[in-house]
Structure 1
Amino acid sequence: MSTTSPRQALVIGASRGLGLVLVTELARRGWRVIATTRENGGELRAAASNGSLTVETLEMTSPGELAALRERLAGRRLDLLFVNAAINRGNQPIHEVPDDTFAEVMITNALSPLRALEALRGLVAPGGTVAVMSSDQGSISRNTEDGYELYKASKAALNQLMRSYTTRHADDGHTKLLIDPGHNKTELGGPDAPLTPEESIPAVVDVLEAQAGAPGLQFLDRTGEVVPW
């Protein structure tokens, strides 16, 4: 990451859950944070009252809105670009998933995060970090229990696309990370998850800060351990 102070981050998808806690934790540590929300983002806008956090409206699945955000932020130099976005449309076996549901989940969870990286990577300073929120559900080697086939496939696709992105931009000097935050009590993770975002996200930020400047792509959990592909 750059040596200028304060460090600057752009977090895509921060209106609630993991994303909201992520931006507030970064701001607590002295980062200046730009956070995006699709809609009103009431909690996010309330958190922005401290002055170290600003809010932008973005529908990440829209290439036009990504391009417009890139223009609005022209001239900024980011130490961290973090894409946090995912949806889950139920626990059907894959042969029962409707075509439109398959397309929606794959576009949101796999295609759109990479479009966001491509649209915004030019804002990231030399030595900065480009990161995406993944999941151990995207680990093929850990897929030993049934359930949530489409969600798992979308995260595996995300991981593979991030590999391709890394190959294509191998010489850009950016640290590249896929982050597994663990199973959290969020709208996506459900009420029975063993972790809360307030427990897991400070550890995630520890990993982001510790890995700054590391070469190549790593798939890490919230403790900094490697997640098997």
Structure 2
Amino acid sequence: MSDTSHALVIGASRGLGLALANELTRRGWQVTATTRNSGGDLRPSASLQVESLEMTSPEQLSALRERLSGHRFDLLFVNAAINRGNLPIGEVPADMFTEVMITNALSPLRTLETLRDLVVPGGTVAIMSSDQGSISRNTEPGYELYKASKAALNQLMRSYTTRHANDGHTKLLIDPGHNKTALGGPDAPLTAEESLPAVVDVLEKQAGAPGLQFLDLYGEVVPW
């Protein structure tokens, strides 16, 4: 991509979002990236502008939209996920269920709805998903709430695509693989520094493609 391409990365305090922001800047993108109020490892530079955002707060989302009103982006990428352990669904407290669903499913789509008009015609809106959200691949036990939240995210993104079918934006759900992050754990086979360059390859290759695709970091289709 040329150095005139602009990206807005939501959720870049650490881990996958941080690696995504860094990889985009390395390739010459101008990046605006958000970090939660509690901070993180994101550092501003000539090609990286840092904004504060708690994505689960509609008020903070609206405030960010106002601050960015003069900006236009070729890519809007939303990265957010929490995991609250490996409980069978019958043992999940209601407040935990609500927290995970708000963070992993509702907030990413609310973010797209709030910021989508900042994306240029022909631009891309993308969300970090997971193959854990694939219903057809759910053949092993464990992490039921997390899997459900990612499946809900995918379904909501499908609904978003249906409502905005004619907006000209490329729409992507990205499975970045199993990475050594706070969420993925220390035994994961990949690091963010290994997987995110491949993810950016996919984002750049798919720019301008119509409709919604659920792809892994190698550009392969993930089954719904």
TM score, norm. by length of structure 2: 0.98
Residue 15 of structure 2: aligned partner: 17
Any conservation in 1 of the 2:2–2:29 contact (CA below 8 Å)? no
CA distance in 2, matches of 1:16, 1:153: 24
Residue 31 of structure 1: aligned partner: 29
Residue 190 of structure 1: aligned partner: 185
Residue 169 of structure 2: aligned partner: 174
Q: Residues 148-163 of structure 1: matches in 2 within 5 Å?
A: 148-163=143-158
Residue 126 of structure 2: aligned partner: 131
The one-letter code matched in structure 2 to 1:145 is: E
CA distance in 2, matches of 1:185, 1:228: 23
The one-letter code matched in structure 1 to 2:16 is: L
User: Which of residues 199, 204, 208 in structure 2 aligns to 1:209?
Assistant: 204
CA distance in 1, matches of 2:8, 2:150: 21
Once the two structures are superposed, what CA deviation does each residue of 1:118-166 show, in whole Å capped at 9, x if it has no partner? Answer: 0000000000000000000000000000000000000000000000000
Residue 52 of structure 1: aligned partner: 47
User: Which of residues 83, 86, 95 in structure 1 aligns to 2:90?
Assistant: 95
Q: What's the C-alpha RMSD, in Å, of the aligned pairs?
A: 1.1
Q: Does 1:116 find its partner at 2:114?
A: no
CA distance in 2, matches of 1:85, 1:180: 13
Moved over 3 A (4+): none
Q: Secondary structure at the match of 1:44?
A: coil
TM score, norm. by length of structure 1: 0.96
Structure 1: unaligned runs, 5 residues or longer: none
CA distance in 1, matches of 2:101, 2:10: 17
CA distance in 1, matches of 2:115, 2:60: 11
Task: Provide closer, same or farther for how the CA distance between residues 122 and 4 of structure 1 changes in structure 2, counting only shifts above 3 A.
Answer: farther
Shift of 1:39: 2.3
CA distance in 2, matches of 1:121, 1:155: 21
Residue correspondences, number? 224
Any conservation in 1 of the 2:3–2:30 contact (CA below 8 Å)? no
Residue 84 of structure 1: aligned partner: 79
Range with greater deviation from structure 2 (62-71 or 140-149):
62-71
Shift of 1:40: 4.6
Residue 107 of structure 1: aligned partner: 102
CA distance in 1, matches of 2:39, 2:84: 22
Residue 65 of structure 1: aligned partner: 60
Once the two structures are superposed, what CA deviation does each residue of 1:157-211 show, in whole Å capped at 9, x if it has no partner? Answer: 0000000000000000000000000000000000000000011000000000000
Any conservation in 1 of the 2:14–2:40 contact (CA below 8 Å)? no
The one-letter code matched in structure 1 to 2:9 is: V
Structure 2: unaligned runs, 5 residues or longer: none
Shift of 1:75: 1.8
Once the two structures are superposed, what CA deviation does each residue of 1:92-128 show, in whole Å capped at 9, x if it has no partner? Answer: 0000000000000000000000000000000000000
- Quote the sequence identity (%): 81
The one-letter code matched in structure 1 to 2:25 is: A
Shift of 1:42: 4.4
